[in-house]
Structure 1
Amino acid sequence: MEGKKTVRAAERALDILLCFTRQPTLSLTEISHMTELNKSTVYRLLATCEEKGFLIRDPDTDKYRLGFRVWELSANLSRTDDMAVLFLQEMERLRDQIDETVSLYVRDGFERVRVQAVESLQAIRRVAPIGSRMPLAVGASSKVLAAFATPSDQAMILGDPTWPESVDRVSYLTQLQEIKKHGYATSSEEREAGTSAIAVPVMNPNQEVVAALAVSGPVGRLTMERMNEVAAPALEAADRMGKMLKK
């Protein structure tokens, strides 16, 4: 019983830290609402996280932000296994080649997460915050991750209990088949007004999809014709990325 209590406490503390993927600063009340925990429990866990250096409380605003311990942990991420670090140079190279924002996404359950982004240098550009989570039902990157997933993973994705009613599963599955046939996916204002995107799969040496490499920008500039032109350099970049990975 004591072991279960310890695990539950750890889960709650981690849930609190994960709240900061959505906002940089949060109050006790906001964290309590986001985690659905009572304030007394949140207060105790915040005090522990603060004591260990994972959170810092601003005495003027009484809000919390991530502490230096988090940065110490991130500094020790493997430079050979972390795709966000490993692929950065190739992403910058692709950005410089096509002058649009380049993002890297991985699948986490029923969502995709942006783990790296290199923004275009143009005045009007797609701003891509790292850490953003998006559903797998819409968007070029979502469809690439689903199209090249295993049949069992595809079945899991299509069985998502939160699947939007506006997206027909049969039509979606047909799209996935076309995407796998052509090797890339495109979208125009599917998830965000005024934005279009093209995405290609990054495959490891075992030919398993590990990420989606996406190029996004304003619909007026990143037209369907332009996206078809971008497909070749994006696929070449993804191929080079895949070759960097270990078997």
Structure 2
Amino acid sequence: MASLDPVLDKDGVQLTVDEAIATVTLTNPAKRNVQSPALWRALAEAGRALPGSVRVVVLRAEGKSFSAGLDRQMFTPEGIEGEPTFIDIARSGDAELDATIAAYQEAFTWWRRNDVVSIAAVQGHAIGAGFQLALACDLRVVADDVQFAMRETSLGLVPDLTGTHPLVSLVGYARALEICATGRYVQSAEAVSTGLANIAVPRDQLDDTARDLASALLAAPRDAVIETKALLRGAQERTYEEQRAAERAAQARRLRDLAGVGD
């Protein structure tokens, strides 16, 4: 990756910007990029810090693993210094508990914004929260050593970091249930064949492949990509007739913009 001055560099998250392409890097390879509330706050801050010029965001990670999931210290009575433990969270009132989880989810939501296309470049382990972070992105390029797994159910929990919706959308209900309930590994060949990943490449080609995909996405006019992403993201929630109408409205906006005709 090119050496650029970081826009943000804190709590295991670094954001750099190279004109229309932003790169978010997980930077704690010694701990396999485990996740914590501080990392989630930094990821959310990265989303807020994106300049308006950015059209594509590449999410990557240093080291052998993309992310091994939650920092297990969160499960201990001592927890992580300065953060509530899971026991503390469980003992809070309904509204506070809901707000705490909602705040954690913010790290996983902005990748779906219509004004950017997000690409996760995933190698090695992407477990639990790591799997869900990869699922938060629009596209996934994976190394041939990738191992996705959703381990929350084995811990007596559920995937709650926005991963269930994209997982079902990509692989269907039955396979999503099986993946989550068993906690098994999904490797590169299955990831590509089921739609979890767009392409699998050798590990040493991962960053270059993600960068090439980012460059290809910049070839089309920005507003056309924004409208197309919005159409495709909303297609499952619309009826056929509603989607037809949405297509007509989007195309009308594009035609008028290209012709220089106001509304």
The interval holding the TM-score normalised by the smaller chain is under 0.3
TM-score normalised over the length of structure 1: 0.25
Q: TM-score, normalised by structure 2?
A: 0.24
Larger Rg: 1
